[in-house]
């Protein structure tokens, strides 16, 4: 039975929302996630018409469908040097998700899933405190409605010093309003810390080895969340809403060489590429995105991977650290 899921992407400007979304299908295709390879998920961009059509009509449209449109433009822009939703509005993207391998029975019997992913500009939902942004009231109302109607919320936050970020107060107030709202359909929240690869830039070919260790990711999350004053607001959503934390990297790591995929010889922030090649192959030859599928797959399936962590796991780590300090 086909199931439709609305997922709202929220976070500060230049936090990594659009980059996560642009690398999503490639991450799934390359199995660059923490789920079992036996799960075998497949994610295909579709049109709004296919999303809205009856299942039988959507299957007919698949036969001659060609991947074009807004999502393909987003992927192309990302390959050419980064992408951001530089607008005071929201964009909607649509996907078909299927699980073709081993999965818990409650997951297998529900698919396939049609996903609507709403990518919002950072200035709308999580602007810096005190910022005066000329946002139209109808745009605010549109995003508020989309957030309340979404089954899942993905908070994409850059891996920076949270105590120095100007948007943390706005984020806390947004979570307060969500917790108090009786109209929300929210079932899952995923907090995804982007730009994970930056922690490993100096490690060379050892970078991917360390990044692939879930214990390292858990340690990074615990350390980052120490200064998160909005964490208790998020906890207030439980148990009605399941909350998970993860890390991700749209730039990821290079194939074969295993280093963090940021080329110091290119202007700005660029992935490694072979200069003699043009087009998509110039970037895809070395590019392995990392864990950008995690937030979306959990949001849609409610299925944990090795890199999705609950409050209980974070709290257990905190208790272990406290016990170690006492014994020391």
Who wins on pLDDT, 22 or 285? Answer: 22
Length of the chain: 328
> Is the C-alpha dihedral spanning 253, 255, 257, 263 positive or negative?
negative
pTM of the entire predicted model: 0.88
The residue with tokens 């990518």 is 119
Average pLDDT over residues 238-248: 94
151/69 Cα distance (integer angstroms): 25
User: What value does the mean pLDDT take over residues 99-121?
Assistant: 85
What's the domain count of the chain? 1
Alpha-carbon torsion, ordered 131, 199, 39, 190, to 10 deg: -30
Token pair in block for residue 143: 């995003």
pLDDT digits (tens, 9 = 90+) for 270-288: 788 877 777 667 778 889 9
Bridging pattern class, strands 113-120 and 242-247:
unpaired
Here the CATH number for the domain that contains residue 43 is: 3.40.50.300
Contact predicate 75/131, CB 8 Å: no
Please determine, for residue 189, whether its predicted confidence score (pLDDT) is greater than 50: yes
Give the Cα separation of 105 and 136 in Å (integer). 45
Q: How far is CA 159 from the centre of its chain?
A: 13
Instruction: Compute CA distances 51 → 31, 112, 116, 120, 153, whole Å.
Output: 24, 12, 8, 19, 19
164: containing domain: 3-327
pLDDT tens digits, one per residue of 285-316: 889 999 999 999 999 999 999 999 999 999 86
127 vs 294, higher pLDDT: 294
């Amino acid at each position: 039975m086909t199931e439709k899921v609305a997922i709202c992407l929220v976070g500060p400007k230049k936090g990594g929302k659009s980059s996560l979304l642009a690398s999503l299908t490639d991450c799934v295709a390359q199995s660059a996630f923490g789920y079992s390879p036996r799960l075998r998920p497949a994610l295909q961009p579709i049109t709004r018409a296919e999303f809205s059509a009856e299942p039988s009509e959507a299957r007919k449209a698949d036969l001659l469908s060609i991947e074009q449109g807004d999502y393909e433009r987003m992927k192309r822009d990302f390959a050419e040097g980064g992408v951001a939703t530089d607008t005071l509005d929201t964009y909607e993207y649509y996907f078909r998700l299927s699980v073709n391998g081993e999965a818990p029975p409650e997951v297998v019997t529900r698919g396939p899933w049609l996903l609507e992913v709403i990518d919002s500009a950072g200035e709308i939902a999580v602007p810096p405190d005190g910022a005066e942004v000329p946002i139209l009231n109808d745009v605010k109302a549109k995003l508020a409605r989309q957030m309340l109607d979404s089954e899942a919320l993905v908070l994409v936050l850059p891996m920076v010093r949270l105590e120095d970020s100007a948007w943390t107060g706005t984020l806390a107030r947004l979570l307060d309003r969500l917790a108090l709202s009786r109209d929300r359909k929210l079932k899952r929240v995923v907090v995804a810390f982007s730009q994970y690869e930056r922690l490993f830039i100096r490690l060379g070919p050892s970078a991917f080895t360390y990044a692939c260790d879930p214990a390292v990711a858990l340690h990074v999350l615990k350390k980052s969340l120490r200064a998160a004053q909005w964490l208790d607001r998020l906890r207030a959503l439980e148990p009605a809403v399941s909350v998970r934390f993860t890390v991700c990297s749209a730039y990821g790591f290079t194939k074969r060489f295993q280093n963090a995929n940021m080329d110091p010889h290119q202007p700005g922030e660029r992935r490694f590429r072979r200069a003699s090649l043009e087009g998509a192959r110039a970037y895809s030859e070395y590019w392995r995105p990392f864990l950008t599928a995690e937030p979306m797959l959990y949001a849609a399936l409610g299925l944990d991977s090795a890199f999705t962590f609950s409050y209980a796991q974070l709290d257990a780590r905190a208790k272990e650290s406290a016990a170690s300090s006492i014994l020391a």
